[in-house]
Amino acid sequence: MNFSFPGRSLLVAAALTLAPLAVSAQDFTPENPECIAPANPGGGWDFTCRQVGKTMQDLDIIPSTMQVVNLSGGGGGVAFAEVVNKRNDDNDLIVAASSATATRLAQNAFPGNTMDEVRWIGAVGADYGVIAVAADSDIDTLPQLMDQIKEDPTSVAIGGGSAVGGWDHLKVLIAAQKAGIEDVRKVKYIAFAGGGEAVTQLLAGSLQAFTGDLSEAKGFVESGDIKVLAVLAPERLSGEFSEFPTAREQGIDAIGANWRGFYGPGKMSDAAYNYWVDAVGTLYGSDEWKAVMERNGLAPLDLQGEEFQQFVAESVQNITDLSKQIGILQ
């Protein structure tokens, strides 16, 4: 079994700099801008909504405060269904999405729904995956964790904020496969509604390790609650994240980057869609957002509109192929 990195094209796309679409502000202006975070507070989707909303308001990209609504459940499925079935023409609404969203769509986990039922707006960066343990854990390296799994798979429960077979789960399986674990289906993964809940259970002793993204782990590292065993990046990140070792430098060649972006309702008007595409593009190009990216370890990913739509379609296809390799899909 040989894994391919589902976001391989991300590293290519990261080099692209695509100009945001130009749109006249008076074509459409949201009266009550709203962002749905499809998980509980504290996770990556919540971070995406709140950071983007705050920065857009600070830069006067949007005319008023972005209301953030946490709508947890089904690995994003509850929010997706809400948008498709009840708010399909809401021009003021955007929804946080990521590689986890593409994973659920790839695995037919949103019953009866496909990616074509919504409009894909744009990306705001990519968030590298991490594997971490509680700060007081005896485990200090990723190979130590993987060796313990090899010796007794039942002794290590790893929690994450995506469903079984979801992106957080897949990152661990990619690392396990690269570490020489032959049957990665024996790796014990427990799903939670968001990364924050998983870390809470890690600290309570119910889990031995955590899999998530750097942005959601950052606060728990700063508070001294967890230690990062590995970042799933090609090389060490810069700045305050340079202290975290990569999996690759520990002999486990695992890379996992979670793109972060937004979709809107499928029947959103063209004027509203162009407004939000332009808003995300303007945000991404700002010095303020570059500073947010640097503070939170986000890698470049500059895609809006049609280019982003194509990128998501490719992500869904790549994850479909990976899911078949590990037996999640037939």
pLDDT tens string, the chain, 330 residues long: the values are 443 334 444 443 433 333 344 444 458 999 999 999 999 998 889 999 999 999 999 999 999 999 999 999 988 999 999 999 999 999 999 999 999 899 999 999 998 899 999 999 999 999 899 999 999 999 999 999 999 999 999 999 999 998 888 889 999 998 998 999 988 889 999 999 888 899 999 999 999 999 998 888 888 999 999 999 999 999 998 888 899 999 999 999 999 989 999 999 999 999 999 999 999 999 999 999 999 999 888 989 999 999 999 999 999 998 888 788 778 887
In contact, 99 and 7? CB cutoff 8 Å: yes
Give the Cα separation of 304 and 277 in Å (integer): 6
In contact, 174 and 181? CB cutoff 8 Å: no
Domain spanning 8-127+257-325: CATH superfamily: Bordetella uptake gene, domain 1 (3.40.190.150)
Helix (H) / strand (E) element for 206: namely none
Task: Provide φ and ψ at 71, rounded to 5°.
Answer: -130, 85
Which three-class secondary structure state does DSSP give residue 210?
strand
Q: Which amino acid is at 286?
A: S
Residue spans of the domains in the chain: they are: 8-127+257-325, 128-250
- The pLDDT score that the predictor gives to residue 15 is 36
Beta strands in the chain (DSSP E): 34-37, 67-70, 93-98, 118-134, 157-160, 188-191, 209-213, 226-231, 257-265, 298-299
CATH for the 128-250 domain, from 3.30.300.210, 3.90.1150.10, 3.40.50.2000, 3.40.190.10 = 3.40.190.10
8-127+257-325 and 128-250 share one CATH topology? yes
- The pLDDT score that the predictor gives to residue 6 is 46
Cross-strand pairs, 159? 190, 210
Pairing status of strand 226-231 against strand 118-134: antiparallel
Pairing status of strand 188-191 against strand 298-299: unpaired
Give the Cα separation of 11 and 232 in Å (integer): 13
pTM here is: 0.76
CB atoms within 10 A of CB 73: 14
- The pLDDT score that the predictor gives to residue 141 is 98
- The pLDDT score that the predictor gives to residue 67 is 98
- The pLDDT score that the predictor gives to residue 26 is 56
